[in-house]
Amino acid sequence: MSAVILISGGAGYIGSHAAYGLKQAGYEPVILDNLSTGNEWAARHGILERGDVGDGALVRGLCEKYQPAAAMHFAAFIEVGESVQNPDKYFDNNRDKAMRFFRTLNECGVNKVVFSSTAAVYGDSGGNAPIEELNPTHPINPYGQSKLEAEAFLRMLDAASMRSVVLRYFNVAGAGPADSLLGEAHFPETHLIPRLILPLIDAPLMLLQGLGLQKGFTIYGNDYPTPDGTAIRDYIHVMDLVDAHIRALDYLLKGGATDIFNLGSNKGFSVQEIVDAVRTSLNKSYYKPGIAPRREGDPAFLVASNAKAGKVLGWSPARPLGAIIGDAVTWHRSPRYIEAMRAKIGKTSGIWL
C-alpha cells in the first residue's frame, strides 16, 4: 500500500505540482485546501479534502482517516506588498494557523513535515554572493517574518519528537508536464515571467486588462551594479522544486534530522536575461520592454545557494532557463489557463464573465 502524504495547500501552484510529483513517485497524496486562492481543478492528482489548516478537529480527523506517513505544508499567502498592507492576515495564516497545523499533526503522531518556506526570511542580503543557510535572518516584510516564526515553531517541536525539513527559495516558474494539466494561475499576477509572457502571446484583452498588463511589461532599473545593469534574481523550475521536496521527504522517512536547506540556482538570472530568453522562445527579437526607475528597496542581487541541498539531498536544479520559459509559454497559451483566469477575473471584477 502506498504511503499517504498530507499536502496542505495542495490546490495551489506549487502544492498541486507536488501532488503530481508524489503520485508519480508512488505516494498517495491527500490534499487539504480551503480553495481561498487554490483551484479545485489543480487538485486532480490527489484526494481533495476541503478545509482550513487551522481547523484542529478537521486535521485530526484526516490523520485518523488516512494515517499519513508525513505532511508537506504549502498553505500560505505569498504577496509581499499585501503583507505590508495587511500584516495581520499574514501572521494569522502563515504563522498562527501553520503552528496549529503542526501541533495537531504532532499530537496525532504525524511527526515528519516538509515546510515550504521562503528565502525572504533573509531580507536584503546586501551583497553579490549566493545566500547560505547560515546567513543572518532579518526579514524586511511581514511575509518573511511570518514564515520565519513558523519555522521557529517547527524547530521547537523537534524536541517533542517532530522532525522537519524547511526549504527556502525565491522565485518559482514554469509548469508541469503535459499530462499533469497543471501550471500557474495567480490572480492578481505579480510574478515576473507570466507578466512578461502574457502580453506577447496574444492573450485575450480581458485577461490582460484584468491583470493590469494591457500596457505591457516594464523593467524597473537598468543601472544596477550588475553585468547588464538589471537586477539579478533566482528562478527555479516548479518541477525542480518538487524534486527537492520529494528528496526532503525521503530524507525524513529514512531517519534524517531536522534541518534547513536553501534551494537556488547559485547564480541567478538578470531581468534582461529573462527578457532575452522570452524573446528567443517566442521568436520576437524586436521586442524591447519599457524602462522605469528603480523601485525603492529593490536590491541588485538576490540568489540562494544550493550547495548544502546538493551535499545532503543530492539536489540541484536540472532545468535551464529556456525550459522554464518554454513550459510557461505553453501553459499560458493553454485553454486550461485561459478558462481558470476567466473564472477568477470575472468573479472578482465582473469584466470577463
What are the extents of the domains in the chain? 4-173+236-262, 178-232+267-303+319-349
- Convert the pLDDT of each residue in 311-331 to its tens digit: 999 999 999 999 999 999 999
pLDDT at 297: 80
CATH topology of domain 178-232+267-303+319-349: UDP-galactose 4-epimerase; domain 1 (3.90.25)
Give the C-alpha separation, 183 to 294, whole Å: 30
Q: What percent of the chain has pLDDT over 90?
A: 90
Structure pTM? 0.96
Which DSSP symbol is given to 120?
Answer: G
Average of per-residue pLDDT across 94-117: 97
CATH topology of domain 4-173+236-262: Rossmann fold (3.40.50)
pLDDT at 180: 97
Average pLDDT across the chain, whole number: 95
Give the C-alpha separation, 53 to 59, whole Å: 7
Residues annotated catalytic, as ranges: 143
pLDDT at 352: 61
- Convert the pLDDT of each residue in 251-292 to its tens digit: 999 999 999 999 999 999 999 999 999 999 999 999 999 999
DSSP-derived secondary structure for 228-249: TSS-EE-EEEHHHHHHHHHHHH
Sign of CA dihedral 101, 103, 109, 113: positive
3-state secondary structure 69-115: CEEEECCCCCCHHHHHHCHHHHHHHHHHHHHHHHHHHHHCCCCEEEE
- pLDDT higher than threshold 90 for residue 75: yes
Lowest mean pLDDT among 16-20, 23-27, 344-348: 344-348
Give the C-alpha separation, 200 to 256, whole Å: 46
pLDDT at 73: 98
Q: What percent of the chain has pLDDT over 70?
A: 98
- pLDDT higher than threshold 60 for residue 353: no
- Do the Cβ atoms of 4 and 63 come closer than 8 Å? no
